[in-house]
Structure 1
Amino acid sequence: MPCLPKALCGALVAALLATSPALADQSTAQPAADPVRVMPLGDSITQGGSIGGYRLDLGAKLRAAGRTVDFVGSLADGPGSLPDRDHEGHPGWTIAQIDAIVVNRLRTYTPRTILLHIGTNDMYGSDPAGAPRRLSALVDKITAQAPGAEVFVSTIIPIRFADATVRNYNAAIVPMLRAKAAAGKRVHVVDMYPAVPISDLPDGIHPNAAGYSKMANAWFNALSSVPGSIGDPPAPGGTCTATPKVTGTWNGGFQAEVTVTNPGATATAGWTVRFTLPGGHVVTQLWGGTASGQVTVTNAAYNGAIGPGASTTFGFIASGSSAAQVSPATCASA
């Protein structure tokens, strides 16, 4: 529970329940701009284990930059601090295994942007020398199925016990990918190998949190360099970011906190945050803002002004029977 006087909590509950019944009606949500659909595609390095891999920090960077992005894929996992868990990262898979399912996944999820890191498991398979040829065929299949998508293909990160093999693979795929781009395909090379040192690979293959954060930086920089790949940049002086985090769960509900940050050069005069809750959930308590709809939150009198680079928070309790989750939030400042 939040640290508030009992009487104040009661007043907040009463105020929320006295608002329009639309608080529990998802049909009253105010639509935000359609998010850019991004598919993280690859093997266990894309899946990222229990820490969510590079997807954790990449998502945070995109939200902080005011970009509205939806990770897509047939799999979903990661820590509670990862608000968007969807991806197409299959532990143990090779290039050929991704090739076998990619057309179906592209048809199903229609990504605008694809982040492909694949080939690690081929390096200690039976034919590492043939991996560049297999990757070329995979990229051709992706660009044929989704010719309008931006396809970011990275060199693979080091493998402690197969460094020479990895280097040979990376050296072969870079000119091949650049040739596809020169032929007019929307293919972009991301040089991931130098971004992650072997010291950040505890088992010699998979990054730790620091290594995944470095991968996130490399992806973010590449995405930022290609207009449209993560949507349009926010308008100067009129943006803020909102990052939700589930802070507690119990049978029948959960508690969450949302951090509102001003990345601009001038102070905000106020802000409005929008997000959705799992089906059947409704807000029953809220502090640090005023809620309406499903769910639109405006600043309280005391926290609307946020200085450049500063942040504030609001929190809420939601009741319902489905799993605790808050959608990626949008934020607009006044």
Structure 2
Amino acid sequence: MSSPLKALCGVLVAVLLTATPALADQSIVEEPAALADPVRVMPLGDSITQGGSIGGYRLDLGTKLRAAGRTVDFVGSLSDGPSSMPDRNHEGHPGWTIAQIDANVVNWLRTYTPRTILLHIGTNDMYGSDPAGAPRRLSALVDKITAQAPSAEVFVSTIIPIRFADATVRNYNAAIVPLLRAKAAAGKRVHVVDMYPAVPVSDLPDGIHPNAAGYSKMAAVWFNALSSVPGSIGDPNPPQPGGPCTATPVVTGSWNGGFQGEVTVANPTASTITGWTVRFTLPGGYTVTQIWGGTASGSVTVTNALYNGTINPSGSTTFGFLASGSGTPSIGAPTCSSP
């Protein structure tokens, strides 16, 4: 090899060696930005917040929040509800009074640091020794919450009816509303939620606790209240072209040994969906015996029928089914995917 050619090769090698670090840097794939943390919501209260084996209002409220594209994490030291319920945490303590919640709330707030609090409390005070003092105790509890967590959004509801103590409940609700509004007017993040008229006595089998229909009505009131306060449940996930579909379930009827359910499949994106698959769970012991508007397999996967696989932007379709079994009817939070 001639000396000029050797020199040229040496220069090229030197350039490549010098450029290697820069080329290597360009080949690194950056990690995607982390998704926003879920908004921490603490359901707080007594057995009406706990909700028994059906998960109370928390079941339907979680479904509504997910369907609306909200990323929320229920927080608390307790966990109850059906196994199909995706998020079962809460601070609903059966039998507890306002004073008992007051004695423990600071520790819970420090431990779980909720962004939003849903407080329904006072029912057990209504047939205690001092129902007349309950508004004062609630006011002190809310002051303690706002002092410990001044940036949290605190939603405080009137309590639902009690069949055998309606006058006492009405007096309590009438007394707490102006107290709460005064706190809001003073700049505290306190929001009054009027829950009393949402649940009729006919939805209270034992005169105190709601059935599934009553809890569903409570969930709707909570959801509307949360949706009216920016930031309390974060921002909805914006639709993305070609993104996934959504599925919203509802139990439309039930009887001894079975129930009927419907699932609305919606397209929130800017592109037409062609074909969809919805997956959900049923309580243990339940099986699908009949379905329309889709084809079922496994436990439970439903694909579109020939006539409803195409969903235009902002459009929707519905499939329904019958399920047989025993226990409380419910539909586990569904997922929806499209090609």
Q: Name the TM-score, length of structure 2 as normaliser.
A: 0.67
1:264 corresponds to 2:271: no
Write the distance in 1 (CA, Å) between the matches of 2:201 and 2:174.
Answer: 18
Structure 1 unaligned segments of length 5 or more: list them. 1-27, 245-258, 274-287, 289-298, 313-326
Paired letter, 2:42: M
SS class of match (1:310): strand
Structure-2 residue corresponding to 1:309: 316
Cα RMSD (Å) of the superposition? 3.4
User: Which one has the largest radius of gyration?
Assistant: 2
1:116 corresponds to 2:123: no
Write the distance in 2 (CA, Å) between the matches of 1:29 and 1:43.
Answer: 42
Write the distance in 2 (CA, Å) between the matches of 1:71 and 1:329.
Answer: 18
Write the distance in 1 (CA, Å) between the matches of 2:138 and 2:189.
Answer: 15
Paired letter, 1:42: G
SS class of match (1:84): coil
Q: How does 1:92-111 map to 2 (within 5 A)?
A: 92-111=95-114
Paired letter, 2:145: I
Structure 2 unaligned segments of length 5 or more: list them. 1-30, 250-262, 278-294, 296-302, 320-331
Higher relative contact order (CA 8 A, sep 6+): 1
The answer to whether the Cα contact below 8 Å between 1:66 and 1:234 also exists between their aligned partners in 2 is yes
The answer to whether the Cα contact below 8 Å between 2:267 and 2:273 also exists between their aligned partners in 1 is no
Write the distance in 2 (CA, Å) between the matches of 1:158 and 1:107.
Answer: 32
Structure-2 residue corresponding to 1:171: 174
1:134-165 deviations in Å (ceiling 9; x for gaps): 00000000001111110000000000000000
1:309 is displaced (CA, Å) by 1.8
Structure-2 residue corresponding to 1:162: 165
Q: How does 1:1-334 map to 2 (within 5 A)?
A: 32-236=35-239, 240-241=245-246, 261-264=265-268, 267-269=271-273, 306-307=311-312, 308-310=315-317
SS class of match (1:133): helix
SS class of match (2:208): coil
1:306 is displaced (CA, Å) by 4.2
Write the distance in 1 (CA, Å) between the matches of 2:227 and 2:67.
Answer: 13
Instruction: Give % identity.
Output: 80
Write the distance in 2 (CA, Å) between the matches of 1:68 and 1:62.
Answer: 7
Paired letter, 2:75: V
SS class of match (2:192): strand
Return structure 1 stretches of 4+ with deviation > 6 angstroms.
270-273, 327-334
The answer to whether the Cα contact below 8 Å between 1:271 and 1:331 also exists between their aligned partners in 2 is no
SS class of match (1:96): helix
The answer to whether the Cα contact below 8 Å between 2:150 and 2:189 also exists between their aligned partners in 1 is yes
1:62 is displaced (CA, Å) by 0.5
Write the distance in 2 (CA, Å) between the matches of 1:219 and 1:271.
Answer: 34
Paired letter, 2:208: I
Paired letter, 2:317: A
1:77 is displaced (CA, Å) by 1.1
The answer to whether the Cα contact below 8 Å between 2:84 and 2:333 also exists between their aligned partners in 1 is no
1:199-243 deviations in Å (ceiling 9; x for gaps): 100000000000000000000000000001111123256564367
The answer to whether the Cα contact below 8 Å between 1:32 and 1:330 also exists between their aligned partners in 2 is no
The answer to whether the Cα contact below 8 Å between 1:267 and 1:305 also exists between their aligned partners in 2 is no
Structure 1 residues 183 and 265: alpha-carbon distance in aligned structure 2, compared to 1, 3 A threshold: same
Write the distance in 1 (CA, Å) between the matches of 2:70 and 2:87.
Answer: 14
1:305 is displaced (CA, Å) by 5.7
Write the distance in 2 (CA, Å) between the matches of 1:82 and 1:200.
Answer: 22
Write the distance in 1 (CA, Å) between the matches of 2:167 and 2:205.
Answer: 19
Structure 1 residues 68 and 151: alpha-carbon distance in aligned structure 2, compared to 1, 3 A threshold: same
1:245-268 deviations in Å (ceiling 9; x for gaps): xxxxxxxxxxxxxx8943537554
